[in-house]
């Protein structure tokens, strides 16, 4: 897919105030600082469409971006940000979960995992929650430019073997870097295929 246009539409904390047109949308989620906003900029070929920061916790709201006037990318706040207080984390969790469970236009959730880290409890528990709620998701390994190819291979194999202790089958897996754009074509082709399907009922 060629991305011709991408523009910011709306930010809010309430799923009922998200855009009402019936277009496919794809949300990006993961721990704070995993690279969600950077990946969105990489996919859309834009430097500052989604706000990025070296300080975790930059994205606090549900942000909709319209691509090619025909589908949405959604940037969600990161979960598990330790420096936010308990109430703040609970509020983010409430926003994320209500969006995921209620947004019928959300065709697929991309769960981002930093390829440098061993499997973290918070991500594994989040995947379990997705499974229990039958939320369609894919895993996107990020920041692969920070590992040598052999270290990356080893890290991802290890991650998948841990997942297979919990899951019978693995979701689709993407290996990406927002720095060198690897994985971009694969992700966009995947989205292009899903855009052809009718919107699921929820």
Q: Print burial letters for 81-119: b (CB count within 10 Å at least 16), e (below 16).
A: beebeeeeeeebeebbeebbeebebbbbbbbbbbbeeeb
Q: At what angle do helices 36-44 and 184-195 cross, to 10 degrees?
A: 80
| Interacting positions 67-96 with ligand GTP (CB under 6 A) | 78
Written as six digits, the tokens of 16 are 């009922």
Neighbouring C-alpha atoms within 13 Å toward the C-beta of 195: 17
d(CA 152, CA 17): 40
Under rule CB under 5 A, residue 37 binds Mg ion: yes
Selected from 59, 105, 107, 138, the binder of ligand GTP by CB under 6 A is: 59
Backbone φ and ψ of 108, nearest 5° = -155, 145
| H/E element, 24 | none
Stretch touching ligand GTP by CB under 6 A, among 30-38, 61-69, 87-95, 127-135: 30-38
35 binding partner (options ligand GTP, Mg ion, none; Cβ < 5 to 8 Å by kind): ligand GTP
Q: Report, in Å, the least distance between residue 22 CB and ligand GTP.
A: 27
Q: According to CB under 6 A, which one of 146, 154, 181, 202 is a site residue for ligand GTP?
A: 146
Q: Which of residues 162-181 bind ligand GTP (CB under 6 A)?
A: 177-179
Q: Which does 103 bind (CB under 5 to 8 A by kind): ligand GTP, Mg ion, none?
A: none
Are 117 and 30 a contacting pair, CB within 8 Å?
no
Residue 145 binding: pick among ligand GTP, Mg ion, none (C-beta 5-8 Å cut-off by kind)? ligand GTP
Strand partners, 72: 25, 66
Contact indicator for 4, 44 with CB cutoff of 8 Å: no
Q: Dihedral sign for Cα 138, 139, 143, 147, please.
A: negative
Q: Does the footprint of ligand GTP cover residue 107 (CB under 6 A)?
A: no
The site partner of 102 among ligand GTP, Mg ion, none (C-beta below 5 to 8 Å per kind) is: none
Among the listed ranges 28-36, 99-107, 151-159, 173-181, the one in contact with Mg ion (CB under 5 A) is: 28-36
Q: Which is nearer to ligand GTP, 44 or 177 (CB)?
A: 177
CB of 92 to ligand GTP, least distance (A): 9
Residues that bind ligand GTP (CB under 6 A): 32-38, 52-54, 56-59, 78, 142-143, 145-146, 177-179
């Amino acid at each position: 897919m060629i991305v011709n246009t991408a523009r910011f539409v709306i930010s809010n904390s309430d799923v009922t105030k998200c855009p009402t047109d019936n277009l496919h949308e794809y949300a990006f989620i993961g721990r704070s600082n995993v690279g969600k906003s950077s990946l969105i900029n990489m996919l859309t070929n834009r430097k500052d469409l989604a706000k990025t920061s070296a300080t975790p916790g930059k994205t606090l709201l549900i942000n909709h971006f319209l691509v090619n006037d025909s589908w949405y990318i959604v940037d969600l706040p990161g979960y598990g940000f330790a420096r936010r207080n308990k109430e703040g984390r609970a509020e983010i969790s409430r926003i994320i979960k209500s969006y995921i469970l209620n947004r019928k236009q959300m065709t697929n959730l991309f769960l981002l995992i930093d390829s440098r880290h061993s499997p973290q409890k918070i991500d594994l528990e989040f995947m379990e929650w997705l499974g229990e709620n039958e939320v369609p998701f894919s895993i996107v390994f990020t920041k692969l430019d920070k590992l040598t190819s052999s270290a990356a291979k080893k890290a991802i194999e290890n991650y998948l073997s841990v997942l297979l202790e919990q899951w019978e089958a693995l979701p689709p897996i993407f290996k990406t870097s927002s720095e060198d754009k690897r994985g971009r074509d694969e992700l966009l082709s995947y989205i292009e295929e899903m855009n052809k399907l009718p919107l699921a009922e929820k």
